[in-house]
Amino acid sequence: MRVLLTGISGFVGHHIFEHLMKNTDWNVVGLHRSGFAGDLGRLAEVLDDHPDWNERLTLVHHDLRDHFHEKLPEFDRVFHVAASSHVDRSIANPRSFLLDNVLGTQNLLEYCRDEVDQFIYFSTDEVYGNAPDGVSYTEDYPHRPRNPYAASKAAAEDICYSYMITYGVPLIITNTMNIIGERQHPEKYLPLVIRHILDGETVKIHAHPDKKRAGQRHYLHARNAADALLFVSQHGEVGQYYNIVGEKELDNLEFAKLIAWYVKEWHLERYLSVGELKYEMVDFHSSRPGHDLRYALDGSKLQKMGYMYPLSFEDSLRNTVRWTLEHKDRWL
């Protein structure tokens, strides 16, 4: 088996690569683009620990916004993970997100439409929009994207679906919630909170208009996301959607406090001091529409198929915080 993995040098992509190497005998054609999110240093760190994996990897540099001018090595399945993925930057520059996530997906579909026996599109919970308290969206809920990033992913999903109906592309779509893990870009919430604690700076907590209650998210580690993606590839059905859901919901303040506890624990073990978490509740939503306060997906479909995450949320977060502190010169 040989799979095409787009975004292999991105945060999620390199974790998926590592998981495939450890848990299958598959070969990987990795599509990489240098830029804001793509960092070959991630792959280099993984391959330094497993040099034998180089024999199973073919790395190809290509910008998905361009047509394919040369034929790629043959592959059987596609994990399309490459995407621009930050709400703030999508609000500031929506066009770049449409080019990356919509045009890039269409170019890949066009190349793959007669080539593969499975095409998995890795999407997000944000396509469904803000989830009221007590509501978790199932796979058949209509799209209600509320910012340019979410809209670009929803549009890409629809283009994928149209290629399945029109051209017979064997499509599966996954929608995944907020992902944490090692080597995450410093703009993301977890490394940002760690950096602010170390620097004694105030963390801005995305909150409701009354600034008394923080926004809520489900978090899962990238290894768990990769494991669920592999499970879907092996047991999922063409034409189906699958929610990949974090096993615990926290509000953003609870999450920041838990990060701060693990930061303090790491320092105490080394007889070092570290400052306390400083935070300010901020009403992003009223001042800048598109910052949804809560996302929530229903994960019962995968559960009924017998799927269970291999790592608990607490262990995943603790390990990620400790690893990030031990590599702070590179990843903070």
The residues annotated as belonging to the active site are 125-126, 149
160, two tokens: 């994928």
Helices 313-326 and 189-199: angle between axes, nearest 10 degrees = 50
Query: How many other C-beta atoms can be found within 10 angstroms of the C-beta atom of residue 158?
Result: 13
CA distances from 3 to 32, 126, 130, 234 (A): 14, 27, 34, 13
Q: Are 281 and 212 spatial neighbours (Cβ–Cβ below 8 Å)?
A: yes
- What lies within 8 Å, CB to CB, of 132 at 6+ separation is 294
Helix (H, G, I), strand (E, B) or coil at 287: helix
Torsion of CA 218, 317, 226, 29, to 10 degrees: 130
Closest C-alpha to 6, from 32, 28, 24, 39: 32
Question: How are beta strands 2-6 and 202-206 bridged, if at all?
Answer: unpaired
